[in-house]
Amino acid sequence: MSLKHAILGFLSFKPLTGYDLKKAFDKSVQHFWPANQSQIYRTLAELEEQGLVEKEIIPREERLDMKVYSITSSGETELHRWLSTPLPAQDYREPFLIQIYFAGKLTDEEIVRLLQHEIRSMEERLAIYKSIYKMNQERIKSVTDRRAMFLSVLTLEYGILSNQAALDWIKSVAERVGALNYTLMEFYPH
């Protein structure tokens, strides 16, 4: 996925400023597609150059002029094309797994500390995801487009389930390393 398509998606809902786009990212897709302000503004400039968005400048007396971006019909077409096209397989990169792969260079105590830090981080992330999910369970009852809301909240389900599985695995690894038990898990019956 590209930032370009995420921005087009948000602008397909309504016109937004760059600042409002950043807030939209932070309140909705940050758990799987974070974006910083400079990336958003750089991409907006590219989208405008490509004719996929247009900018309206609203003068303000005491502050900088406000720039409001809207998706164009070409932008709608591009968004639809991208949404309806299956994506190619993506390379999966997880720096933490590189640390684990080479952790034989560490003592067991250092490994356990590393794992405990990751456990705390994942538990904090899961708590955030679960609170957002719970809030959205209430919101979905009152929104007019329940289907769209349902589909957007499915990304949180994915985040919760995948992070819970990873957390369970990391806890298992920490327990095994802490007990000096270097046996692998049994996945398949003999």
pLDDT tens profile 73-93: 999 999 999 999 999 988 888
pTM over 0.85: no
pLDDT tens profile 22-43: 999 988 888 788 899 999 999 9
Q: Which run of H or E residues covers position 34?
A: none
66-71 sheet: strands from edge to edge: 16-17, 66-71, 53-58
